[in-house]
Structure 1
Amino acid sequence: MEKMIKSSIDSQNSNLFKFLIPSLLGLFLFVIPIPYGDLVPLEGLSPYNIGIGFLAELIKIAGANYLEYIALFVIVLSAVLSVGSKFINIKNEFLRSLLNVSPFWLICRVLGAIFIVMTLFDFGPEFIKSEVTGATMIGLLPSLLAIFLVSGFLLPLMVDFGLMDLFGTMVSKFMYKLFKVPGRSAIDAVSSWLGDGTLGIMITNTQYKQGFYTAKEAAIISVCFSLVSLPFSTVIADQLGFMPLFVPFYGTVCIASLACALIMPRIYPLRGFTNKTYNNVPHLKEDIVPKGVNTFKFGLEKAIERAKSAPTVKSILVNGCKTVVDMYIGLLPLVMAWGTLALIVAEFTPFFHIISIPVVFILNLLQIPDAVAAAPAVLVGFADMFLPSIMVSGNDISQVTKFIIGVLSITQLIYLTETGAVILKSDIPLKLKDLFVIFLIRTSIALPIITIIAKLIFK
C-alpha cells in the first residue's frame, strides 16, 4: 500500500514538473519582457524584448549579410518546386500538400520569386525593385525568417504543456463575456503585444487546428488580438517625433484597440462566422470552474492534465521542422508577392488617393487639420503598416494629424505586407474581402476615439 501511495506521489510530482519547467520557460520566452538591450552589448537589439524577439534579433544580427539571400533561395525554391509538383507525383503527404497548390497560390509563389530576383540583382522595372516597393519588402524578410525559425520550434512550450490551460481558466469568464473568445486567447494578445503580430497569429492558428478555438473564435482573435508589437510601435512614434509623448501615444493605441475588440465580435463580418472547429476535430472547450472550487487550483489541475499528453522532444523537433518549412515555403513568397504588389499600387498609382476622396469629408467632419493630405494615409495602411507615418511625416503636417495617423496606423492591425499575408496563408477562414472589410470597420471605430484623445492632448 505504501509503495502504491509513494508511486502515486512520484507520478504527481513528475507531471507537475512536466508542466512547470516547459511552461515557465515558455512564459520567459513569450511573455516576460527583459532589458536585453542593456544586458547584451550588441548594436541592433531592442531595449526591451521578450525572449523570442531577442533570439530573433540575434539571428538577424548574426546573419545580417546572408538572410536576404537565404530568403532569395527559399522563395525561388518554393516557386520551382511548386511548378515541378504539377509534373511529378509526390508521395509524401506533407510535401504534396505544401507544394501542389492551387493555380492562384502557384502564381503568387512565382511572382514572389520574380520580384525578389529583380530587386536583389537590380534589373527590371523600377516600380518593382525601388526602395519603396521591392526593397522595402526585402527589408522585412529577415525579421520573418528569424521569428518563424525560433517560434516554429519553441511554440509548443506555450501551447502544449498546460500554460495556456492555466491562464485560460483564470481569465475565461471575463474574456468570453467581453470579447466572445476563450481565456487562453489572452496569451495570443500578450505574445503579439510584446513580440510580434505574426507570432500571435501563429499561436492562434496552432490552437485552432488543435480544436481549442472554433472558426469564429480564431477569426476574432487574429484580427482583434494579434496586436502590433510594442517595439514596432516605438519605431512609428520615433518616425513622427512622438517619443517624448510615447506613453499617451501608446495609451491611445490601447484604448482604441480595446474598443475595436469589444465591438467587432458582435457585428458583421465576425459575428457571421461559424462555431465549427477545424476539420471538425473535437472542440476542446475550457471547463467552467465549479462553484466553491479555487480557480487557480482548478486551472492548475487542467494544466497538469494537459502536460501528461504533451509531445516528446523528438515530436517537437519533427513538427518544428515541418512548421518552419511550411512557413518558409508557403508564406515568404506570398509576403514578397502581395507586399510588393500592394506597395506598387500605393506608391505608383493614384488608387489610394482616389478611394480616399470620401475620407476627406469624414476628416473635415471630425475637424482634423490637413484633411486632404491625411486622407490617403488613412487607407494606405492596408498595404503596409509603415506607409501612413511616412506619408504624414513632413513638416507641413499638423502635429495633431500626425498623432492621429500614427496611432491609427498601429490600431488598424491588418497589413498585406505582414499580418494580412500570414492570416491568408493560415487555416483561419478569413478571406481577402473579409480582411478589407474588417480593416475599414476597425478604422471607422478607432478614428473618432483617437481624434478625441489627440485633441485633448494637443489642446
Structure 2
Amino acid sequence: MESDKNNVNLNNNAVLDQLTLSDSQKRQGAVKAVIFTLIAVFIFFVPVTIKGTTDVVFGIVYKSIKSNLGLLGSWLGGIIIMGNAIASIYGKYLCKRKDSFLYRYYAEDSVIHPLFYLFGGVCTLILLLHFTVPSFTGPACITSPDIGETVYSIAMDVALIIPVSGIFMPFLLNYGIVDFIGSLLEPLMRPVFKTPGRSAVNAIASFVSSASVGVLITSKLYKSGVYTKKEAALIATGFSAVSVGFAYKVIETAGLSDYFLPIYFIAMLITLIISFFMCRIPPLSRKQSVYLDGHEQTREEIQAEKIPARSVVRIGGARAIKKAATAPNFFREIRSSLLDSCFVLPKVISLLTAAGIVAMIIATYTPVFHWIGKLFEPLLVLLGVPDAAQIAPSLPVGIAEMFLPVLLIADKVGRLSLEARYMVVTVSMVQIIFFSETIVVMLSTKIPVTLKELVICFFERTVLAIPISALFMHLLF
C-alpha cells in the first residue's frame, strides 16, 4: 500500500511498519540510510585527532568556530543576551499586540523570566567590559574567574553547540539510525528504564559530545511526537551525561588521571543504575504518558516498539530504510532544524548566564551548600568514605555547576585520599542536573519538567549516587 508521507505519522512504528515501498524506493532508502548514518556516526561519535587534539567532529567544529571568533564571538553572544533582555521586557510587560512576534515569543515565560534575562544582560555587559577595557573594574562576585568567567565561557560554548547541532541533527534523526538502534535496544531500554530503545542514542550523544546535545535531541523528538512527556523527562534527566572531554578535565583536576578509564566507565554504569531507580520514584514516575499533541500513549503503541529477538536486525533495518526513503527535503530540514535551534538560543544562554552566576555566587559567598553538605556527612562516614567531613560540603554544590565540586577540593588534592577524590568526581559526574547548563537548557527547550522537579531529582540522584559510588570505591581502591 502506497502511503503519503505527509498524511501519516511515521514516528509511530506501527504506522512505519505498515508502510510499503516500491523496489526503487527501497534502493534509494537503503543508500540514503547508509550514507547519512555513516555521516552522523562520523560527526557525533567517532573521535579524531587534529593538531594533537582528540575530539568528535562535532566538538572540533564548534570549538574551532569559538577559537576563530575569539573575543568577537564573546561580544556576539553578549549582544544576543543583552538584546534578549531588552526585548523580553518589552514583549512581556509592554507589548499589547498579541499577534506580534515579541509577544508570542515571550508569552509562555513567567513574569519573572524577564528579570532573569535582565540580570543576565547586566552581568554580560560587566564581563565584556572586564574582558576588553583594562581600566574597568567590575564587582568581584561577577568578574571572578571561578564565577562569571566560568559561567560565561560555558554559555558561549552552548551558544555555538545549539546552532551547530541544529545543522547536523537531521543526519542523526531523519535517516534511520535512531529507528535502527531503537529496534535493537528496545528489549533492554523499555523494561529497565521505561524509555524507548531509541533513547540510547541520546545517552551516547551526551557521552561523546555534550550534555546539551542530549537535551536538544530529546526536545526535538518530544516536539516531533516521538516521546511522551514521561519519556522525555526520564531521558533528559537520566541520560544527558557529561561528555568524555569534560569528564577528563574533571578527573584530571582531582589528580586522578591515572584512573581515567575505570572512573569514567564506572560513572557511565552508575548513571544507568541511577536511571533505573529514578524512573520508579516520584516525581518522574508520576509523569503522564501523553504526547505533545495531547493523545495518551496506548498499549498498542508500546507493543509496536517490541520486536522478537530473532527479527530485531531485519525489522530495524527495514524501519531505517523506510525512514530514510520518506525523509523530508534535506536542505529544507537543515534550515528548519537550524531555525528551531536559533529560536531557543537567546533564552537558553540568557538564563544560563543569569542562573549560573546566581548559583555560583551562592556557592562561593554563602554557607548554604556547606550546611546542606553536612547532611551527607553521616552517610559518607557510614559507608566508610575517608575524609568525609572535608568532601561532604562539595557534593550539593554540583547543582550550581558540575565542575564546582572538584574546584572546591582542588587546593586539597595533595591532602585528600584517593577514595575521597574519587567520590567527589564520580558523584558530580552522575548528578547530571545543574544550573549552569542542563537545567536551563531543559527549561528553555520546553522539556516537560519544572524547576521544582529538577531540584528534587538532583537531590534524589545525589542520595542514590553516594552509596553506589561508595560500593565501586571499595572495589576499585
Among all aligned residue pairs of Structure 1 and Structure 2, give the percentage whose two residues are the same amino acid.
Answer: 28
Relative distance call for 1:69 and 1:201 in structure 2 (3 A) is same
Structure 1 length as normaliser, TM-score?
0.91
Note the C-alpha offset of 1:262.
1.5
Relative distance call for 1:286 and 1:162 in structure 2 (3 A) is farther
Identify the range of structure 1 (17-26 vs 176-185) with the bigger mean alpha-carbon deviation: 17-26
Q: Secondary structure at the match of 2:464?
A: helix
Return the letter of the residue paired with 2:112: F
**2:424 matched to 1:409?**
no
Please give the alpha-carbon distance, in whole angstroms, between the structure 2 residues aligned to 1:173 and 1:258. 15
Relative distance call for 1:297 and 1:352 in structure 2 (3 A) is same
Residue pair 2:26, 2:325 contacting (<8 A) in 1 also: no
Return the letter of the residue paired with 2:72: Y
State the match for 2:80 in structure 1: 74
**2:284 matched to 1:270?**
yes
Please give the alpha-carbon distance, in whole angstroms, between the structure 1 residues aligned to 2:115 and 2:126. 16
Return the letter of the residue paired with 1:84: Y
Note the C-alpha offset of 1:399.
2.2
Note the C-alpha offset of 1:30.
1.9
Match of 2:71 among 55, 60, 65: 65
Please give the alpha-carbon distance, in whole angstroms, between the structure 1 residues aligned to 2:468 and 2:460. 13
State the match for 2:17 in structure 1: none
Q: Deviations over 1:297-335 (max 9, x none)?
A: 211222222223322134224313322322321100000
State the match for 2:15 in structure 1: none
Identify the range of structure 1 (431-440 vs 284-293) with the bigger mean alpha-carbon deviation: 284-293
State the match for 2:183 in structure 1: 169
Note the C-alpha offset of 1:50.
2.1
Q: Deviations over 1:71-109 (max 9, x none)?
A: 111101111222232444668776543344432221111
Residue pair 2:170, 2:334 contacting (<8 A) in 1 also: no
Q: Deviations over 1:355-390 (max 9, x none)?
A: 222222222222322222211101100111111111
Match of 1:220 among 234, 240, 246: 234
Q: Number of residues paired by the alignment?
A: 444
State the match for 1:427 in structure 2: 446
**2:195 matched to 1:181?**
yes
**2:118 matched to 1:110?**
yes
State the match for 2:172 in structure 1: 158
**2:394 matched to 1:387?**
no
Q: Deviations over 1:178-233 (max 9, x none)?
A: 11100000000000001111100100111111111111111111111111111111
Structure 2 length as normaliser, TM-score?
0.87
Residue pair 1:212, 1:285 contacting (<8 A) in 2 also: no
State the match for 2:89 in structure 1: 83
Q: Secondary structure at the match of 1:35?
A: strand
Match of 2:217 among 191, 203, 225: 203
Match of 1:349 among 343, 366, 369: 366
- The CA RMSD measured in Å over matched residues stands at 2.2
Please give the alpha-carbon distance, in whole angstroms, between the structure 2 residues aligned to 1:330 and 1:17. 39
Return the letter of the residue paired with 1:278: L
Identify the range of structure 1 (64-73 vs 215-224) with the bigger mean alpha-carbon deviation: 64-73
The equivalences for 1:15-34 within 5 A come to 15-31=29-45, 33-34=46-47
Q: Deviations over 1:224-279 (max 9, x none)?
A: 11111111110011101111111221132123212102211111221111100113
Match of 2:48 among 32, 35, 43: 35
Match of 2:417 among 387, 398, 401: 398
Please give the alpha-carbon distance, in whole angstroms, between the structure 2 residues aligned to 1:281 and 1:131. 48
Return the letter of the residue paired with 1:397: L
Q: Deviations over 1:19-61 (max 9, x none)?
A: 3322221122122x2232xxx226xx3x2x2221121122122
State the match for 1:3 in structure 2: none
The equivalences for 1:175-324 within 5 A come to 175-280=189-294, 287-288=304-305, 294-324=311-341
Q: Deviations over 1:139-198 (max 9, x none)?
A: 212311221121012111111222111111111111101111000000000000011111
Residue pair 2:207, 2:244 contacting (<8 A) in 1 also: yes
